[in-house]
Structure 1
């Protein structure tokens, strides 16, 4: 369960400007420490060797870091464009939040500002001999950090924005979100009762957008007893308009309505953090784009199917026999659990629709559904078989060759020998 402040902090922590600002500040402070510390320094004469060379070294760092940063930004923009064209526009958010990219750019910018401040300070004559020696030592440390990031960046650029790397990031984000939902199936609250009490009043959204985050702990702080229980009517990822119902409760006044609305973060875009369905939707977009006539890459679609199976298997195993109750829920805040049917529909329906004419993709879909059925209970098995039958029906219309249709239909047979 993540509170709103923690969620906002995570969002900020993943922003490029945050790391760039932090590293830039560190570079400026490092360059000025040599000046501030000079009154307390008494370095032996031997350590002053090479300190006079710091001027030219800082000039080299300043000019080279500016060029490298510009090149890196161009490479990033190219990678984003490649991911948008070949994978999914929604996947570029994960590239923007990539830590390796952010750390590399932040290091380059920080080194540039360090050298720039050092050059200005040297020109102003604020360093004595000991200060120049300390600045020289700091410059050597900066050079080591820059060289390390350059080597790491050179290897990372070879796969940044590539289809497989981007699919892997989508899979990781979806798996993390689904894993968090397994730990907190009701976002930290309690299960929604089968029948809601009568006489409930509703809290409307008041704005248009996607529910990005729900602060269950904040909702819990508004409830003192069961008579004030809050029944959350939406989940992260839901699209709401001004009149959409966010929550319902028996006791509502204007102040409490405002407090409940404040627990729901609504924005123009969906995010991966609390929204496992969004990750599966992006995976399906990757597969559908690969199956389009313009790209015609069934291998990427098959790869995406494998990612979806790996992502869904822990949830299927968890949902077998019922989701259950969390150990220490927020009392009297009721939230719906994720629907396994929705998760299956988010991925398998669009991929089956767009891949119905490809025999290899259909065979992989049938095997993927069977793998999930084996991991689940009777309800999961019935759901998987329903999708398998729908896939066969789609193939009947999309595949011109009877032999191909027969191969896909044969996978409905539960005989284990047919899946070896």
Structure 2
């Protein structure tokens, strides 16, 4: 249940309606409170001290009418611009990047600010009373707050008009994905040698199988450890976040001779499934996004090697960071070495496969991309902490040079071979 709530909360924060709805609710509360404040003697003291010059009912009504009408129009325009930007980005960079723009807090809060100002204006306008049918009431302090909100929304509009074109620049997109990946690596894996060796999952014991279909979005390891400890069981996970499962796929193994239904249900409840992968716990999702952008950039229809080179820079930085980490120990959800749950770990070769190996065939078709990939692999090999990992990177350099020979010819392949030989001679 906690895993599902965690997944729902992540989806809620990534939606376009959550912050506008929250701001609209806060605007109703703020408008109601400010109208109540206007009915106290605070207004009279402001007028006596010269801090506030009262507005007539007609002027106040005009101000709120202009404010609410313009905010609704601006909110519609902002939403239209956002959708156009999202369509452009998903079409050029890949549909999986749509999630990145949906989660952009700048877009969400900009739209929410305009909606909130609109709702606040309606709330205050409803409380106004003219002098024709009874005692007039013009909420002067509420109008002052409305004027301040108009100034704030003007500043937000200027920010939004800058933020949208800046956010769809490919360098900005790649930087956001790359930095998120590096943060995930630093948070999830400790430095090499800083922890005792962790226990690896082994496919032994009774199998606990999935009963639903979807991608594993969240695994609540803290809760899973509590469940395993309470039942005095050892649990070996058979899936990672980001894996696709369906009924019959093994989620975990347990050392119990006879599997109890309640225990199996509690284990399943610690995992939340969804229709798509997310970057919340799936560290490979960010790596795949970088690879996808690079592959699309190197496709014959686009042929943009410089975008691929930028993606290679971030993939190289992540690969070097993986090479310095203890990948057998994960700190991302529980750091208790006594936890009776063995996770399914990914070794360095696995992450190398998801990055450089996955894009080798496309990189080999471009001289510029191949040269940069050789440089990135060589640089990473100089920074890893083990000879085995360094050997894997150097072997990948050899395979890339070999595959480039099948696609390039003439001076292009000569330059690739020369660079490869030079880097290999440096170790």
TM-score (norm 2): 0.88
In 2, Cα distance between equivalents of 1:293 and 1:20: 41
The residue matched to 2:240 in structure 1 has which SS?
coil
Find the counterpart in structure 2 of residue 280 from structure 1.
287
Find the counterpart in structure 2 of residue 313 from structure 1.
320
The residue matched to 1:207 in structure 2 has which SS?
coil
- Render the CA deviation track for 1:88-139: whole Å, top value 9, x for unaligned: 1111101110011111000011111111222222258899878611112211
Superposed CA RMSD: 2.9
Alignment of 1:395 with 2:404, yes or no, is yes
In 2, Cα distance between equivalents of 1:225 and 1:414: 58
In 2, Cα distance between equivalents of 1:30 and 1:386: 64
Aligned residues: 411
Find the counterpart in structure 1 of residue 243 from structure 2.
238
Alignment of 1:292 with 2:299, yes or no, is yes
Distance 1:179 1:88, change over 3 A: farther
8 A contact 1:220–1:330 mirrored in 2: no
Alignment of 1:90 with 2:96, yes or no, is yes
C-alpha displacement at 1:368, in angstroms?
Answer: 0.6
Q: Out of 247, 256, 259, which is 2:266 matched to?
A: 259
Find the counterpart in structure 2 of residue 51 from structure 1.
55
C-alpha displacement at 1:225, in angstroms?
Answer: 7.4
> Runs of 5+ in structure 2 lacking a partner?
none
The residue matched to 2:280 in structure 1 has which SS?
coil
8 A contact 1:174–1:279 mirrored in 2: yes
Distance 1:65 1:214, change over 3 A: same
Alignment of 1:163 with 2:170, yes or no, is yes
C-alpha displacement at 1:39, in angstroms?
Answer: 4.3
TM-score (norm 1): 0.89
Alignment of 1:357 with 2:365, yes or no, is yes
C-alpha displacement at 1:414, in angstroms?
Answer: 5.9
8 A contact 2:129–2:135 mirrored in 1: no
> 1:198-209, aligned counterparts within 5 Å?
200-209=205-214
- Render the CA deviation track for 1:351-381: whole Å, top value 9, x for unaligned: 2211212111100001111111111121211
C-alpha displacement at 1:211, in angstroms?
Answer: 0.9
Find the counterpart in structure 1 of residue 229 from structure 2.
224
C-alpha displacement at 1:315, in angstroms?
Answer: 2.1
8 A contact 1:83–1:166 mirrored in 2: no
8 A contact 2:203–2:238 mirrored in 1: no
The residue matched to 1:310 in structure 2 has which SS?
helix
> 1:11-410, aligned counterparts within 5 Å?
11-42=11-42, 43-44=44-45, 45=47, 46-47=50-51, 49-52=53-56, 53-122=59-128, 132-183=139-190, 191-193=198-200, 200-224=205-229, 228-251=233-256, 252-319=259-326, 323-324=328-329, 328-329=336-337, 331-376=339-384, 377-401=386-410, 403-410=411-418
In 1, Cα distance between equivalents of 2:160 and 2:62: 25
Q: Which moved more, 1:149-158 or 1:9-18?
A: 9-18
In 1, Cα distance between equivalents of 2:199 and 2:227: 18
> Runs of 5+ in structure 1 lacking a partner?
none
